[in-house]
Amino acid sequence: MTVLLTGAAGFIGFHVARALLGRGERVVGVDNLSDYYDPRLKRARLERLEREEAFVFQALDIADRQAVSALIEAETGIDRVVHLAAQAGVRYSLENPFAYAETNVLGHLVVLEACRRLPNLRHLVYASSSSVYGGNSKLPFAVEDRVDSPVSLYAATKRADELIGHCYAHLHGMPLTGLRFFTVYGPWGRPDMAYYAFTRAIFESRPIRVFNRGEMLRDFTSIDDIVPGVLAALDRPPEGGDRPPHRIYNLGNHRPEKLLKFIDVLETACGREAKKEFVAMQPGDMEATYADIEPARRDLGFEPKTRIEEGLPRFVAWYRDYHGA
């Protein structure tokens, strides 16, 4: 059978696709190759995936109902879906809010509506975000916590995805799992993320902007830990019983680090000191993220192992190779 993977040219999508192919799955990948960040990086990821015979790619926008429906009708063997396509970035949502409504809300709805017509659908896993916890002050963040106080439009769209998912599980019996990712980093990562931008600035001898004077905590999670979590979720569709077959899990490192320590480890990996420019907190940012992962441990066997002292040097090694730094 076949796995449909949206956002296949993205950071997490690329690594999930490689893992699926590595265990013998056929993967149909879709992506619109948007220019939110350099499409050349997305094409470089795709180039590596397309070396595999079991990988098929189609460039399309998930908000395009006709294109998504046509794909579903053509690929009748799809029995599982990993839906990762989204407009990412908290700060960019202040500049281009309609992109978030178009991709994250309408696109999510289009994918679910098309996939509910798949005759053999066993499970649909989709990406949510730790941003949904918004202004919550209780740490660590637990899936049972209230998440009705988002502090960014990005977070609001991701929470909307969860509510739409619950609705489709309730109305149509679709097995759905939402994964709240916590600050994922690693090789082939997104250039808009802080660790990537910091690394580039360090190698180019430019100052890095440290928000909130570095007084921030992040549950930095290696892609090497995220991918097994995604696959474990995919392999364990939720059962219905007395509630809709819809589950939500945190996938985080369960080990929050101070931003300044993170920068210190990155400096060591780069072999250079960063020029720091301390600036105020950005609108929409969260001061701390910290994942309660007990439900994911219990149900998925999720167990993150990678500390930033291991994960960041792996990213820097990839950065040097890819950019010739």
> Model confidence over 157-209: pLDDT tens digits?
999 999 999 999 999 999 999 999 999 999 999 999 999 999 999 999 999 98
The tokens for 281 are: 């907190």
Residue 103 to residue 96: CA distance in whole angstroms? 12
Give the pLDDT mean for 136-145: 91
Residue 157 to residue 171: CA distance in whole angstroms? 21
Give the pLDDT mean for 283-312: 91
Would you tell me how many other CB atoms lie within 10 Å of the CB of residue 226? 26
- The four Cα atoms 308, 310, 316, 322 give a dihedral, to 10 degrees, of -120
Sole residue written with tokens 């105020």: 280
Just list the catalytic residues: 154
The tokens for 266 are: 């990155």
The phi, psi pair for 25, rounded to 5°, reads -80, 150
The tokens for 76 are: 């009748």
- Specify the higher pLDDT residue, 223 or 214: 223
Burial class of 69 by CB neighbour count within 10 A (0 to 12, 13 to 18, 19+): middle
User: Given 3-state DSSP classes, what are the helix, strand and coil percentages for the chain, each rounded to the nearest 5?
Assistant: 45, 20, 40
Q: Measuring CA to CA, which residue among 94, 210, 88, 96 is closest to residue 152?
A: 94
192 membership: H or E segment, kind and range: none
Residue 109 to residue 116: CA distance in whole angstroms? 11
* H helical segments located in the chain: 11-22, 39-49, 65-74, 92-95, 97-100, 108-115, 153-172, 194-203, 223-234, 259-270, 294-300, 308-323
The tokens for 268 are: 């060591």
Sole residue written with tokens 């730790």: 130
- Position 300 scores a pLDDT of 98
* Residue 221 pLDDT exceeds 90: yes
- Specify the higher pLDDT residue, 134 or 171: 171
What SS3 state is found at 144?
coil
Q: Measuring CA to CA, which residue among 168, 157, 99 is closest to residue 132?
A: 157
Largest CA distance in the chain: 58
Give the pLDDT mean for 120-147: 93
Query: What band does 125 get if pLDDT is binned at 50, 70 and 90?
Result: very high
Residue 32 to residue 14: CA distance in whole angstroms? 14
Domains, the chain, with CATH or none = 2-184+223-254+291-304 (3.40.50.720)
- Position 284 scores a pLDDT of 59
Task: Decide: 201 and 192 in contact? Cβ < 8 Å.
Answer: no
Q: Measuring CA to CA, which residue among 161, 164, 80, 160 is closest to residue 127?
A: 161
272 membership: H or E segment, kind and range: none
Would you tell me how many other CB atoms lie within 10 Å of the CB of residue 23? 7
* Residue 254 pLDDT exceeds 70: yes
Residues whose CB is less than 8 angstroms from the CB of residue 118 and which lie 6 or more positions away in sequence, other chains included: 72, 78, 79, 81
What's the one-letter identity of residue 38?
D
Q: From the centroid of its chain, how far is CA 253?
A: 14
- Position 135 scores a pLDDT of 77
The phi, psi pair for 147, rounded to 5°, reads -130, 50
pTM strictly above 0.85: yes
